[in-house]
């Protein structure tokens, strides 16, 4: 097969207008057309009439009768194969086009890959930055004496004293999510899931 060239353009206007083609019999034109396809597929034709007849599935006797009229459309190339001038021009153009498209594809792929690397790096950086921000925001609030509270970073464990809004009285269980009730001397703690009466000391 003609390497990677699986098709070729058919210039039917040029074929129909060629006086040499018009001078051929209907059978000879058919043989010529079959030989063009075989020559493209095999990248040239063997010089043996018997082998050519076999390639186009034509009886050798009939081929031998038609071949003298079709022979003039072929020349012997340096590699010893029969070739058609127009077909070889088309073959060269097709190869050049294919190589150009392949090279453009390789360059385009390399460019996309190069552009993707910074984008991926930026995305990873943004993700890590957002993760750090969220971890810092998620804090553990611990009640301490004196009515202040401490924020402990979930990511680093570092403590910092926050601003006090009113006075926060610590609960006996000490869980960060426990709260004193605004009415009555009791506190609620989702962690302990319990309510307890206030003691004499106010706890």
Per the structure, how many domains does the chain have?
2
Provide the pLDDT for residue 141: 41
pLDDT in tens, 41-55: 999 999 999 999 999
Q: Are residues 41 and 115 in the same domain?
A: yes
Q: Which domain holds residue 155?
A: 140-197
Provide the pLDDT for residue 136: 57
Does the pLDDT at position 32 exceed 50? Answer: yes
Does the pLDDT at position 169 exceed 70? Answer: no
Q: Over pLDDT 70: what percentage of the chain? A: 66
Over residues 172-195, the mean pLDDT reads 68
Over residues 156-181, the mean pLDDT reads 57
Report the distance separating Cα 12 and Cα 9, nearest Å. 9
Sheet harboring 149-153: ordered strands across?
139-143, 149-153, 159-161
Q: Are residues 177 and 162 in the same domain?
A: yes
Provide the pLDDT for residue 99: 86
Over residues 58-79, the mean pLDDT reads 97
Q: Are residues 133 and 38 in the same domain?
A: yes
Provide the pLDDT for residue 168: 53
When comparing pLDDT for 50 and 154, which is higher? 50
Is 149 contained in some domain? Answer: yes
Is 203 contained in some domain? Answer: no
pLDDT in tens, 102-153: 888 777 776 677 666 667 777 777 888 877 776 655 444 444 444 444 444 4
Q: Are residues 26 and 123 in the same domain?
A: yes
Is 202 contained in some domain? Answer: no
Q: Which of the four pLDDT bands, split at 50, 70 and 90, describes residue 183?
A: low
Question: Long-range contacts: 63-72, Cβ < 8 Å, 24+?
Answer: 63/31, 66/25, 66/27, 66/28, 66/31, 67/31, 69/24, 69/25, 69/28, 70/24, 70/28, 70/31, 70/32, 70/35, 72/20
When comparing pLDDT for 99 and 173, which is higher? 99
SS3 56: coil
């Amino acid at each position: 097969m003609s390497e990677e060239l699986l098709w070729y353009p058919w210039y039917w206007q040029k074929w129909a207008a060629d006086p040499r083609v018009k001078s051929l019999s209907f059978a000879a034109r058919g043989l010529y057309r079959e030989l063009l396809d075989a020559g493209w597929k095999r990248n040239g034709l063997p010089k043996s009439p018997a082998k050519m007849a076999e390639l186009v599935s034509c009886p050798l006797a009939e081929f031998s009768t038609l071949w003298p009229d079709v022979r003039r459309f072929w020349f012997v190339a340096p590699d010893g194969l029969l070739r058609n001038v127009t077909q070889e021009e088309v073959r060269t153009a097709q190869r050049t086009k294919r190589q150009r498209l392949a090279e453009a594809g390789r360059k385009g792929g390399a460019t996309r890959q190069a552009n993707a690397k910074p984008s991926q790096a930026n995305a990873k950086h943004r993700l890590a930055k957002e993760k750090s921000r969220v971890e810092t925001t998620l804090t553990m609030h611990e009640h301490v004496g004196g009515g202040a509270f401490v924020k402990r970073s979930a990511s680093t464990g570092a403590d910092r004293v926050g601003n006090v809004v009113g006075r926060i009285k610590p609960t006996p269980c000490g869980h960060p999510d426990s709260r004193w009730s605004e009415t009555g001397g009791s506190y609620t703690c989702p962690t302990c899931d319990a309510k307890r009466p206030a003691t004499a000391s106010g706890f």
